[in-house]
Structure 1
C-alpha cells in the first residue's frame, strides 16, 4: 500500500471504516486547504517508513457524514486506526516525527 495523493470525493460509510482489519490511516482534508497541502511532505516522509499502512484520504466538508462521525473540526485531521479502533489522532501535524510515532502505534515495520 502507498500514500494516496488524491482526496476521495465519495466517502465510505463509517461501518466500512470500523470493519477494516490491520493498520489504516484516515486523512480528512480538502485539496484547496493550505494546512492540508503543507502537511503532505511530512505525511509522505512518514508513510514511506510504514508502507504497509492503508491510507484513505477523504475530502471533508459541510454535511459530510464520515468526518462528522469522527468529530473532525480542523484539517487535516489524521485518524490512526488498528483493526477498526481509533488508536491515535493528529490535527494539523507540523512534522513527520509525530506522524511516524502515531503510525508506529498501529503498524509494526517488518
Structure 2
C-alpha cells in the first residue's frame, strides 16, 4: 500500500529536489477545513499513481518554504518533476481535478 509521507521543511531538498520523477506536494494545516477535504483525495492519488511520490508539508511549520514558492493560501498542491516546479494548484479539488493536475 502506497502512503502519503509527511516531511519537514528540512527534508524538502532531499525528498523532492533529488527525486528522479514526479512529486506531488500538499501544503496543508491541521486546522484548515479545505485541507481536510483534500486529504482523502491526495491519499487516493497516491494509491492510484504509484509512479508519483506524494508528500505532505505542514504549512504552519514551513513558512520559509511557502515563501520560496510564493504560497499564500492553503491547501496548495505543487507538482514537481525531477526537482523542477511544473504546476501549482490552490484550494480543495476533486479526484478528477487532481488527476488531471498530476498528469501534466
Q: TM-score range by the shorter chain?
A: 0.7 to 0.9
Where 2:97 maps in the other structure, the secondary structure is helix
Residues 23, 54 of structure 2: 8 Å contact kept: yes
Aligned to 2:78: 79
Cα deviation code 1:38-58 (max 9, x no counterpart): 111222223322022111211
When normalised by structure 1's length, the TM-score is 0.77
Q: Which residue of 1 aligns with 2:59?
A: 60
Bigger share in helix: 2
Give the unaligned 5+ runs of structure 1: 106-110
Distance in 2, matches of 1:60 and 1:73, equals 10
What is the match of residue 4 of structure 2?
4
Match for residue 26 of structure 2? 27
3-state SS of paired residue (1:47): helix
